[in-house]
Amino acid sequence: MADLISVIVSTYNRPDALDACLRALSVQTDQHFEIVVADDGSQAATGRLVTEWARRWRIAIKHAWHEDRGFRLAEIRNRALRISEGSYCVFLDGDCLARPDFVAAHRKLAEPGWFVTGHRLLLSRELTERILADGLAPERWGLADWVAQRARRNVNRLTPLLLAKMSFLRRLQPRRWQGARGSNMAFWRHDLDAVDGFDAAFSGWGWEDTDIFIRLIRNNVFRKDGAGTAVLHLWHPEADRSRFADNERQVDALLAGNRVRAQQGLSSIVKDAARLRPQPEPAR
């Protein structure tokens, strides 16, 4: 079982969604965790938001940031890892809302030799706009509420909410990397260290999560299904996919060889350069 858990939340210029994400994390039943916001070059509003949350909440919140030079999710996740302290690391997208038992469920699933890939429900644009404009807290809604939202086509599916107790499904495909999503996943820190973390050779949207799944499985760390950890994914416009084909070719090259370590991984990040911890401003 993990001790301190690091919840690493990735974000880019979407402080309204990040605020909702942090709000959902603030009411977790398991409070033995820290948060590291992995900020891929957002403008100042995001930093101010993180600072404000750090002031009013007893959970430790850190902020890893680098300048905006395009989509560099793998690199900023490595920077966040460098300043995190947990033995177990849960990665969550900053436009995803965790239900109150999210951290507790991930803690229960933590097991040596395995990483976890969780589930998500995709919310409609209409419901997302209402959540953000009206301060709704759908992470607290029950199954009946979601059945009603499904009837209105405001959520794509309900299955992830029904799988929590189906533990026999978790290990059915331990070597399967296909279909795994990176918006909700968890790893032991020492397993990430062994493969040198995420690969910053991936820039632009797509395939960076697939890369680390393949390298971990190749290094005898296997995939466990994260039924019971489903998150609520707020709607957003489709990301720029101009680098998708280039990144796919990198994965093809990885599959053709036997490499387990990242080409540009954790070891390429200078720890001091990654640290940006919010500090209260002096009183005026």
Arithmetic mean of pLDDT over the chain: 90
Is 281 contained in some domain?
Answer: no
Is 284 contained in some domain?
Answer: no
- How far is 51 from 7, CA to CA, in rounded Å? 17
What is the share, in percent, of the chain residues with pLDDT greater than 70? 92
For residue range 152-189, list pLDDT tens digits in order. Answer: 999 999 988 887 666 667 777 888 888 777 789 999 99
pTM of this structure: 0.91
Count other Cβ atoms within 10 Å, centred on residue 184.
Answer: 24
Looking at 112-269, list the stretches that DSSP marks H as alpha helix, in order from N- to C-terminal side.
125-134, 143-151, 159-162, 189-194, 208-218, 244-256
- Tokens 């995939």: give the residue: 223
Is 282 contained in some domain?
Answer: no
Burial of 117 (0-12, 13-18, 19+ CB in 10 A): buried
Is 114 contained in some domain?
Answer: yes
Is 9 contained in some domain?
Answer: yes
Is 34 contained in some domain?
Answer: yes
Where residue 281 falls among pLDDT bands split at 50, 70, 90? very low
Domain containing residue 74: CATH number: 3.90.550.10
Residue 240, helix vs strand vs coil: coil
C-beta separation of 230 from 143 below 8 A:
no
Looking at residue 260, its amino acid is V
Looking at the chain, list the stretches that DSSP marks H as alpha helix, in order from N- to C-terminal side.
15-25, 44-56, 73-83, 102-109, 125-134, 143-151, 159-162, 189-194, 208-218, 244-256, 271-274
Where residue 278 falls among pLDDT bands split at 50, 70, 90? very low
> What average pLDDT does range 99-110 have in this prediction?
96
- Phi/psi for 158 (5° steps) reads -120, -10
Instruction: Give the domain extent around 52.
Output: 5-274
* Number of structural domains in the chain: 1
Is 279 contained in some domain?
Answer: no
**pLDDT recorded at residue 41:** 95
- How far is 19 from 9, CA to CA, in rounded Å? 11
Is 147 contained in some domain?
Answer: yes
- How far is 284 from 268, CA to CA, in rounded Å? 40
User: Which secondary structure element, helix H or strand E, spans residue 230, and what is its range?
Assistant: strand 222-233
Looking at residue 71, its amino acid is F
Point out which residues pair with 92 in neighbouring strands: 9, 184
